[in-house]
Amino acid sequence: MRAPFTAAVLAGAVIAAPLAMAEQAPSAAEMWKLIQEQQREIERLKQEQKNTDAKVEATADAVESGAMSNGWASRVSLGGYGEHHFNHFKDKDDKVDAHRFVLFVGNQFSDTVRFFSELEVEHGLVKDTDDGSGPGEVELEQAYIQWDFTPGHSLTMGQFLVPVGIINETHEPDTFYGTERNNVEKDIIPATWWETGVMFSGEILPGLKYNAALHSGLAADPGATVRSGRQKSANATAEDLAYTLRLAYTGVAGLEVAATAHHQQDISQGAAADGEANLLEAHIRYTIANLTLTALAAEWDIDGAAFDTAGTDVQEGAYLEASYKVTPKLGVFVRQSEWDNKAGNSVDTEIEQTDVGVNYWLTPTVVLKADLTEQDGAKDDDAFNLGVGWSF
């Protein structure tokens, strides 16, 4: 009895399976509908790919044809410079210094209106200390709008470098000889020196250029150097503004002759009884073939009893420099400097320094430097210096 029953169950399963499969399988119409939906999806994906390819090609064509020339990327300019130094001193500790790291950002708003800025980190580190004793500084050195109000003449408005000397406006490390900036311009002028105000610039005659500026002034203590009076436009006291006028002639190939007159009615900003200050600076630079000769002199004349007593009523300096390009990459120089920030007293406080060294340019804007400095007089900081600098 058991065998016939089992056979019957198996037979029923065999018969039922095809019936169940027949119920689950789609009909021909359903299969055709499914195929059409898949085909439509394939066509949609193909069209999306075509649209993407067209956009990529259009963008490439726009870039190649200059159609994007009015975009922000064409208006904004980026740049910067920096330098690292090693100083081996005869009578004090040697130093390694990430002396400067500077970034430039500019924007060309129109053919006649532009913006320029310079942000600097000095000595590699800024500490958050209550007494401000950190080794470095973060400084906004420049931030101004320049407007060409007529052909050949412009108006600068904002924070800018005072037009005086050589290094104050052109101080990228690949543009000058010596690891350190020269002391006459640094301690007397004092570079780098910037103020906030307005300045007119232009060309009077072919090769004869002018700068005339009204701007914030120094706040110098009678017993200190002029350099210590730089306020750097940092919430600066502006009880007394200053005036600067420069004339420069570059009408002969290789020649630059310039003179600057600067006046501030009270360089102490009211801290002393009086402090009328005048700065006169003049320099000449002449390049013939591979030889460049430079001479610069600067002098402060400051009135007031407090300055007279401290001997800071006269602060002056001068230097002579000769440099020679042995090859387009290799240059040598010698410089003789004298300066005195207390030339008005009866004590001999003048410092003399001789610099001899070499610059080697890996590229026109990347330079390696080595030099020897020998000081005499009121200071004796003889040193051997090494440096690497760049700009872009």
pLDDT digits (tens, 9 = 90+) for 53-90: 655 565 555 545 554 455 788 899 999 999 999 999 99
CA distances from 39 to 25, 30, 33, 47 (A): 21, 14, 10, 12
* DSSP 8-state assignment for residue 26: P
Tell me if 256 sits within 8 A of 249, measured CB to CB: yes
Whole-prediction pTM: 0.81
Considering only CA atoms, which of 358, 350, 345 is closest in space to residue 375?
350
pLDDT digits (tens, 9 = 90+) for 291-309: 999 999 999 999 999 999 9
- pLDDT of 40 reads 73
Tell me if 261 sits within 8 A of 280, measured CB to CB: yes
Residue 131: which pLDDT band, with cuts at 50, 70 and 90? Answer: low
Distance, in Å, from the CA atom of 196 to the CA atom of 118, rounded to the nearest integer, reads 14
The whole-number average pLDDT for the span 325-344 is 98
- pLDDT of 6 reads 37
Rounded percentage of the chain residues whose pLDDT exceeds 70: 82
Statement: residue 207 has pLDDT above 60: yes
pLDDT digits (tens, 9 = 90+) for 211-241: 999 999 999 999 999 999 999 999 999 999 9
CA neighbours within 13 Å on the CB side: how many for 111? 3
What are the beta bridge partners of residue 243?
Answer: 214, 263
Distance, in Å, from the CA atom of 330 to the CA atom of 206, rounded to the nearest integer, reads 33
